[in-house]
Chains A and B, each alone.
Chain A
Amino acid sequence: MTGPHESASALTAEQWNLVETLTGMLTPEQARWISGYFAGLDVGLLRAGGGGAPAVAPSSASAPAARQLAILYATETGNGREIANALAAAARERGLAPTVADLGEYKIRKLKDEHDLLIISSTHGEGDPPQPAAGFFEFLESRKAPKLPDVRFAVLALGDMTYEHFCGAGKRLDERFEALGATRLLPRVDCDVDYEEKADAWREAVLALFESVAPATSAPVAAAAVTRTVPAAAPRFDKRNPFPAPVIDSIILSGRGSTKETRHIEISLEGSGLAYEPGDALGIAARNDPALVEMLLDSLGMNASAPLIVRGQSVDLGEALARNFEITVATQRFLDHWAQLTGTNDAFSVMSSEERAAFLHNNHILDIVNAFPLKGIDPQTFVDGLRPLQPRLYSIASSLSIAPDEVHLTVSPVRFDLNGRRCSGVASGYLADRIEVDSSVPVYIQSNPHFRLPDDDRPIIMIGAGTGIAPYRAFLQEREARSADGRSWLFFGDRNFRTDFLYQTEWQTYLKDDVLTRMDVAFSRDGADKVYVQHRIREHARDVYAWLEDGAHVYVCGDASHLAPDVHEALLTVVEEQASIQREAAEDYFRDLQRDGRYQRDVY
Chain B
Amino acid sequence: MDLPPTDRSHDISQPLDRLSPDETLKHDSDYLRGTIAKGLRDPLTWAVPGDDIKLMKFHGIYQQDDRSVRDERRRQKLEPAYQFMIRVRLPGGICTTDRWLKITELAMAHGRETLRMTTRQTFQFHWILKHNVVPVIRGLHEVLLDTVAACGDDSRGVMATVDPQFPALQAQMGALAKAVSDHVIPKTHGYHEIWYGAERIATSEPEEPFYGRTYMPRKFKIGFVIPPSNDIDIYAQDLGYIAIVDADGNLEGFNVVVGGGMGRTDQAPETYPRVASLIGYIPADKLIAFTDAVMSVQRDYGDRADRMHARFKYTVDDKGLDWIRQAVEERAGASFEPARPYSFTSNGDRYGWIESDDGHFHYTLFVEEGRLNRDKLDALAVIARAHKGHFRLTPNQNLIIADILPEDRATIEKLLVEQGLANSNAQSLIRLNAMACVALPTCGLAMAESETYLPSLLTKIENLLARHGLSDEPITLRMTGCPNGCARPYIAEIGLTGRAPGKYNLYLGGGFHGERLNTLYRENIGEPAILETLDQTFARYAAEREAGEHFGDFTVRAGIV
Contact = CB atoms under 8 A, between A and B. Distances in A.
Tell me if chain B binds chain A: yes
Interface of A: 251-256, 264, 497-499, 501-508, 511, 519-521
**Chain B binding site: helix, strand, loop or mixed by DSSP?**
loop
A501 B78 contact: yes
Contact of B72 (A256, A506, A520): A256
Contacts of B45: 508
A497 B76 contact: no
Nearest to A519: B44
A251 B79 contact: no
A425 B74 CA distance: 28
A251 B77 CA distance: 10
Contacts of A252: 76
Contact of B77 (A253, A256, A520): A253
B80 to A, nearest CB: 9
B69 interface: yes
Given A255-B69, A255-B73, A520 B43 contact: yes
Contacts of A519: 44
Contacts of A502: 77
B79 A254 contact: no
B129 to A, nearest CB: 8
A338 to B, nearest CB: 44
Given A255-B81, A498-B81, A508-B45, 18 more contacts: A253-B78, A255-B69, A256-B69, A264-B77, A497-B46, A499-B78, A501-B79, A503-B77, A504-B44, A504-B77, A504-B78, A505-B74, A505-B78, A506-B77, A508-B44, A511-B44, A520-B43, A521-B44
Nearest to A526: B131
17 contacts: A253-B76, A255-B69, A255-B72, A255-B76, A255-B81, A498-B46, A498-B81, A503-B77, A504-B77, A504-B78, A505-B74, A505-B78, A505-B79, A507-B44, A508-B44, A519-B44, A521-B43
Contacts of B200: none
Nearest to A507: B44
A141 to B, nearest CB: 43
A508 B76 contact: no
Contacts of B72: 255-256
Contacts of A521: 43-44
Interface in B71-122: 72-79, 81
A504 B74 CA distance: 10
Contacts of A253: 76-78
Nearest to A256: B69
A248 B77 CA distance: 17
Interface residues of B, number: 14
Contacts of A505: 74, 77-79
Contacts, number: 42
List the 10 shortest-distance A-B pairs measured between CB atoms, nearest first. A503-B77, A505-B77, A255-B78, A504-B78, A253-B76, A504-B79, A505-B79, A521-B43, A256-B69, A506-B77
Contact of B76 (A254, A511, A520): A254
Contacts of B46: 497-498
A503 B77 CA distance: 5
Contacts of A255: 69, 72-73, 76, 78, 81
A504 B81 CA distance: 12
Nearest to B74: A505
A396 B534 CA distance: 61
Nearest to B76: A253
Most A CB contacts (10 A, CB to CB) among B74, B75, B77 go to: B77
A251 B44 contact: no
Nearest to B82: A498
B128 to A, nearest CB: 13
A501 B81 CA distance: 12
Contacts of A520: 43
Nearest to B73: A255
A503 B78 CA distance: 6
Contacts of B44: 504, 507-508, 511, 519, 521
Contacts of B81: 255, 498
A537 to B, nearest CB: 15
A255 B74 CA distance: 10
B78 to A, nearest CB: 5
Nearest to A521: B43
A416 B468 CA distance: 60
A349 B78 CA distance: 53
A499 B76 CA distance: 10
Contacts of A506: 77
A506 B77 CA distance: 7
Nearest to B129: A498
Contacts of B73: 255
Nearest to B72: A256
Contacts of B69: 255-256
A497 B43 CA distance: 9
A255 B46 CA distance: 14
Contacts of A508: 44-45, 79
Interface string B193-237: 000000000000000000000000000000000000000000000
A251 B75 contact: yes
Interface string B453-477: 0000000000000000000000000
A278 B282 CA distance: 77
Contacts of B76: 251-255
A497 B83 CA distance: 13
Contacts of A504: 44, 77-79
Interface in B31-89: 43-46, 69, 72-79, 81
B118 to A, nearest CB: 26
A33 to B, nearest CB: 53
B126 to A, nearest CB: 15
A507 B77 CA distance: 10
